[in-house]
Amino acid sequence: MLSVSALTAMRAHAQEARRAGRRIGFVPTMGALHAGHLALVTAARARSDIVVLSVFVNPLQFGPGEDFARYPRDLQRDTTLAAAGGVDVLWAPSRDAIYPEAPQVTVVPGPAGDRLEGAIRPGHFGGVLTVVLKLFGVVQPDVAVFGRKDFQQAALVRRMVRELNLPIDLVVSPTIREPDGLALSSRNVYLDAVARAAAAALPRALAFGVEAFRSGERNAAALADGARTVLDAERGLTVDYAACVADDLEPQVSADERSVLVVAARAAGTRLIDNVVLGEGLEEDIRVAG
Ligand code: AMP
């Protein structure tokens, strides 16, 4: 595996690969790698000849008072995991390489970026789309892989790729979960035992919604309320939202197989998000061994 930091080195390497006719797969991350990220690498490998994984904790997507400063960073560990996971090029640019000057040109996600996570974290998705577009501009991948775990992010990147005519195949890969259903996340390291136990209510709330859907419930508000009841019953959680939306994030009155149940809550100050496609259920996701 090649490790690069400089933007010029990354660009040169990608250009060389492209000239050699190799298809480039790209997995953008903020590091603190886990099996969820490595599943994206596997998905990228299956669709390309060379896999680039970026590690960059993007200051632009963190709001004031959020966890930018304490976000887990361990490039040495990430390097070991990436190499073992089949990454060809690990790109870990510095903050100055990505933002040599205060950004004036940024991406506006549109109304879908102001809902759900965007309502709780104003400006978050503008920061996400801006950095993703900047990373795309350097790597110029043929295929980019994102996790379904961050459903709204994936939906907004999909819209950006479509509206800005980016020549990139976007792949959204299933969520990797702990044996009790909790979605893997770099932020799970913040959870102590009590908060960790409370966090398991998120996949339980999603499973409850899926069961209701399978029993015939189609009222989107009722499905969201059911999930919320499960979350509210967990004393260790503060619920941010539970909603049932269309796969393009539009609000829905009546749910269908493609509708997505999304939940967000805080456990002892740590934000957790999760979602499920109602027609698929959590069975479509992959559990790591216990
Ligand atoms: P992050 O480093 O948390 O910004 O995530 C980088 C990419 O990994 C994003 O596309 C996430 O959606 C994806 N990802 C994070 N956690 C998981 C998970 N548990 N399963 C699948 N993909 C994930």
CA 93 to ligand 1 center in whole angstroms: 19
> Can you tell me which atom of ligand 1 is nearest the CA of 33?
2
Please report the pLDDT score of residue 283 as a whole number: 86
Catalytic positions: 37
Residues 277/259, Cβ–Cβ less than 8 Å: yes
Compute mean pLDDT per 10 residues along the chain, 290 residues long, and list them.
Answer: 98 98 98 98 98 98 96 98 98 98 97 97 98 98 98 98 98 97 97 98 98 98 98 98 95 97 97 98 86
Residues 75/31, Cβ–Cβ less than 8 Å: yes
The percent of the chain in helix, strand and coil, each rounded to the nearest 5, is 45, 20, 35
- SS3 track for 198-249: HHCHHHHHHHHHHHHHHCCCCEHHHHHHHHHHHHHCCCCEEEEEEEEECCCC
- Residue written as tokens 């913040």? 190
- Sequence-separated (6 or more) residues with CB below 8 Å from residue 12: none
Q: Strand (E) positions, 95-149?
A: 143-147
Q: How many Å from the N-terminal Cα to the C-terminal Cα in the chain?
A: 29
Pocket test for ligand 1, best of 37, 157, 185, 189 (most atoms within 8 A of CB): 37
CA 30 to ligand 1 center in whole angstroms: 9
Q: What is the dihedral sign for C-alpha 55, 58, 63, 66?
A: positive
Alpha-carbon distance of 137 to 48, in angstroms, equals: 18
> Can you tell me which atom of ligand 1 is nearest the CA of 183?
19
Q: Which neighbouring-strand residues pair with 144? A: 26, 170
Which residue CA neighbors atom 18 of ligand 1 most closely? 36
CA 49 to ligand 1 center in whole angstroms: 22
Which residue CA neighbors atom 22 of ligand 1 most closely? 147
Please report the pLDDT score of residue 63 as a whole number: 96
CA 176 to ligand 1 center in whole angstroms: 9
Domains of the chain, start order: 2-173 (3.40.50.620), 178-287 (3.30.1300.10)
Alpha-carbon distance of 25 to 89, in angstroms, equals: 10
pTM of the predicted structure, to 2 decimals? 0.97
Evaluate: CB of 54 within 6 angstroms of ligand 1.
no
